[in-house]
Amino acid sequence: MPTPAPTPPPAPDLRAAAVAAAAAAPCSLLEASATETSLTIEGILRRGGEAAMRRVLAERGVPEAAATLRLNAFEGPYCGAIDTIRQVAAATGEAPLVSIAGAMPLQRGDLLRLDVQMPPRAGQLYVSYLMKSNEIVHLVPSEPQAAGARLRLGEPGPNFAGWEVDEPFGTDMIIVFASERPLFPQPRPVVEPLDDYIPALAAALRDARAQGIRVSARAVLLETVANR
């Protein structure tokens, strides 16, 4: 009597594996997706988080060739901000889009220019710049925009020299919010400590949620250097 062939192990649940791997990097803003044969995880995370994600994928039997990780890592005081905005970070198509114009990294004297697209609803646009110095600069404190509006921010013009890159150099973060209503009752200071901003932002997001106001956010990393 022939010996029956061993039963092959079940195929890994790629969707569940992607979600579990993303959860293994707590200081992160990640989007996970999967098909029957592959998974993709993309976004930003604290340096060192990728190794934990790959361990989870390996433990769940996901072949390396089936996993695509598009990750940008950072070192900096951004976990508090990430934890706060994660509740309104939205999937592609629901959040504002943002990209940085020009060759990376930006060097001293370069101008920061941003291409931003609003989500498919009108609202207030907020653009802020988080720095390793534990400060935040509100580049666009609050500005009404039409649904789907495409904007180039930072171009010099009359009475505006542009946003020039200067020290401290390193990995900075830009966060963009789109809110159906203004988030804050009063304008925030142009520059303020992150320790002041994050609690105020958390309170504003709680209020917006309680009032049924839709808010979405996206974050990107920016590398700056003295010289390329």
pLDDT of residue 12: 85
The structure's pTM equals 0.88
pLDDT of residue 1: 58
Which residue is it, tokens 């974050």?
A: 219
Count CB neighbours of 38 within 10 A: 15
92 — pLDDT class (breaks 50, 70, 90): low
Tell me the backbone φ, ψ of residue 171, rounded to 5 degrees: -100, 115
pLDDT of residue 6: 63
Query: Does residue 56 contact residue 83 with C-beta atoms inside 8 Å?
Result: no
91 — pLDDT class (breaks 50, 70, 90): low
Closest-CA residue to 194 (of 126, 112, 127, 129): 129
Query: Does residue 32 contact residue 41 with C-beta atoms inside 8 Å?
Result: yes
Q: At what angle do helices 49-59 and 14-23 cross, to 10 degrees?
A: 150
Strand partners, 169: none
- Give residue-wise pLDDT tens across range 27-66: 999 989 999 999 999 999 999 999 999 999 999 999 999 9
**All domains of the chain in start order, with CATH:** 14-74 (3.30.1340), 79-225 (2.60.40.1930)
